[in-house]
Amino acid sequence: MDWGIKNRLSKLFKSDGHCFFLPVDHGYFQGPTSCLEKPAKTIKPLLPYCDALFCTRGVLRSCIDAAMDTPVILRVSGGTSMVGSDLANEAVTTCLEEIIRLNVSAVGVSVFVGSDYEKQTLLNLSNLVNECERYGIPVMAVTAVGKETEKRTSRYLALSCRIAAELGARVVKTYWCAKDFDKVVEGCPVPVVMAGGPKCETELEVLEFVHDGMQKGAVGINLGRNVWQNPNPVAVAKALHAIIHEKASVKEAHDIFKETKK
């Protein structure tokens, strides 16, 4: 691995090999998502706890201070919306020159395995890897399911993650699943990061699934709504940070949440 890509990856993953990515890219297909209407306001208090921000170029330019130290993972796929006919029908939205100009640490692209747009989205990933690797920029694949959340079984997720890694993703973001998540991680030769999905009923549920996923081999999280849609986002972020980087148990993390909430 050349110095440039190693350097970028070392910004995203801390010395323990773990990561806490904060996604705020939801507007690219959901519009002004609840609690993310003003991205700058949502992001600011959470920055001390996260290792990278996942966002589009629009939010980066208009809402984020260029002097910020936190590395950026740029969302570079899109072209669909919640009200359109198929969320899987994505293209790559951002050219290589723009990716370099924005000085990001990685890019993120969704793949929709098993959808009508499987080949198109897998080629989006492959082509992006071909271009970005020439300049030492890692590509993170997002194994997306669109509105079909019932697809999130270990068998399906293992298939999607492995395909994404085979096509050259340096990191794969996927969903945690209650049964056999370890098989998803074991079948993927590159680091696996857990996505969150719609907000859970309680923060305890979030802490439990993140802790379980870490025990089963995930290297970290890319969690958005379960952090910033919580009425106490900083408390959740602090508790998650403790699980990811301080080996906290669920109880210890929950105590941190309760203490911070006060």
Number of residues interacting with ligand 5RP: please give it, by CB under 6 A: 15
- Does position 93 interact with ligand 5RP (CB under 6 A)? The reply is no
Length of the chain as a residue count: 262
Q: Which of residues 228-247 bind ligand 5RP (CB under 6 A)?
A: none
Extract the tokens encoding 235. 């408390």
Helix or strand or coil: residue 112? coil
- Compute the least distance from the CB of residue 29 to ligand 5RP, in Å: 7
| Cα-based angle 24, 146, 97 (whole degrees, multiple of 5) | 50
- Does position 138 interact with ligand 5RP (CB under 6 A)? The reply is no
Please confirm, yes or no, whether 173 is among the known catalytic residues.
yes
Q: Which of 63, 255 has the CB closer to ligand 5RP?
A: 63
* Cβ-proximal residues to 3 (8 Å cutoff; 6+ apart), any chain: 136
Q: Using the rule CB under 6 A, which residue among 27, 191, 224, 233 binds ligand 5RP?
A: 224
- Does position 144 interact with ligand 5RP (CB under 6 A)? The reply is yes
- Compute the least distance from the CB of residue 214 to ligand 5RP, in Å: 16
Q: How far apart are the first and last CA of the chain?
A: 46
Q: Which of 4, 35 has the CB closer to ligand 5RP?
A: 35
> How far apart are alpha carbons 94 and 2 in whole angstroms?
24
Q: Which of 105, 226 has the CB closer to ligand 5RP?
A: 226
- Cross-strand bridge partners of residue 74: 55, 107
- Does position 146 interact with ligand 5RP (CB under 6 A)? The reply is no
Report which residue type is found at 220: G
Measured CA to CA in angstroms, residue 245 lies from 8, 42, 179, 206 at distances of 19, 22, 24, 16
Q: Which of 175, 257 has the CB closer to ligand 5RP?
A: 175
Q: Which of 6, 14, 173, 258 is catalytic?
A: 173
Extract the tokens encoding 157. 């997720």
> How far apart are alpha carbons 129 and 119 in whole angstroms?
15
Q: Using the rule CB under 6 A, which residue among 39, 71, 138, 196 binds ligand 5RP?
A: 196
Q: Using the rule CB under 6 A, which residue among 13, 25, 184, 240 binds ligand 5RP?
A: 25
Q: Using the rule CB under 6 A, which residue among 225, 238, 241, 254 binds ligand 5RP?
A: 225
**In the chain, how many H helices and how many E strands?**
12, 10
Asked whether 252 and 242 are in contact (CB, 8 A), the reply is: yes
Q: Using the rule CB under 6 A, which residue among 19, 20, 23, 243 binds ligand 5RP?
A: 23
Give the catalytic positions in this structure: 173
- Enumerate binding residues for ligand 5RP (CB under 6 A): 23, 25-26, 54, 110, 142, 144, 195-197, 222-226
